[in-house]
Amino acid sequence: MSALPRIPVLVSRAGAASAITAATLAASVLVPGLATEASAATAGEQALKVAASKQGSPYQYGAAGPNRFDCSGLTLYSFKRVGKSLPRTAASQYNSTRHVSGGSRQVGDLVFFHSGSNVYHVGIYAGSNKIWHAPKPGTSVRLEKIWSNSVWYGRVK
């Protein structure tokens, strides 16, 4: 059943004072997705977009942008661009974040790869079990599936 025949009824019932509200309601019925987002993107989501914009930038040990990155350099650069500061290394970044469980992770959280208590790699969670990261020498910034269960999550404060 189409919503179109009901629109004049909605508008007539709404009265003059609510005509704009009824028109907005009718438009949202006719054009799904027209409504605006209620909340702004988090710093993590914004940093994720920065990291994604660096796709293809080559890995270089110790580099923190704007054209070459190592893993923690990419996260440092991405969050700095959205007004958040992080320490330089992956381990220090882990220690400076609010730790969250895998079940509570959100897009934009940092994903820390570890062996025992040693954090050795970091990326930015992109959803669907994927991260943006600068993997290793000879590669470039890319989106990749999380390949290990030995990960911890941290949210930048």
Dump pLDDT digits (tens) for 135-156. Answer: 999 999 999 999 999 999 999 9
Residues 6+ apart with CB under 8 A from 15: none
The model's pLDDT over 2-14, given as tens digits with 9 standing for 90+, comes to 444 444 444 444 4
Q: Which residues are catalytic?
A: 71, 121, 133
Which strands sit side by side in the sheet containing 142-145, from one edge to the other?
A: 98-100, 151-155, 110-115, 118-127, 130-133, 142-145
Q: Kindly tell me if the per-residue pLDDT of 47 is higher than 90.
A: yes
What's the CA angle centered on 120, arms 77 and 94, to 5 degrees? 60
Half-sphere exposure of 70 (CA within 13 A, CB side): 11
H or E stretch covering 19: helix 19-30
In this prediction the pTM is 0.75
How sure is the predictor about 39, in pLDDT bands with cuts at 50, 70 and 90? low
Residue 40 binned pLDDT confidence (cut-offs 50, 70, 90): confident
Tokens of 64: 């923190």
Residue 120 has pLDDT above 90, yes or no: yes
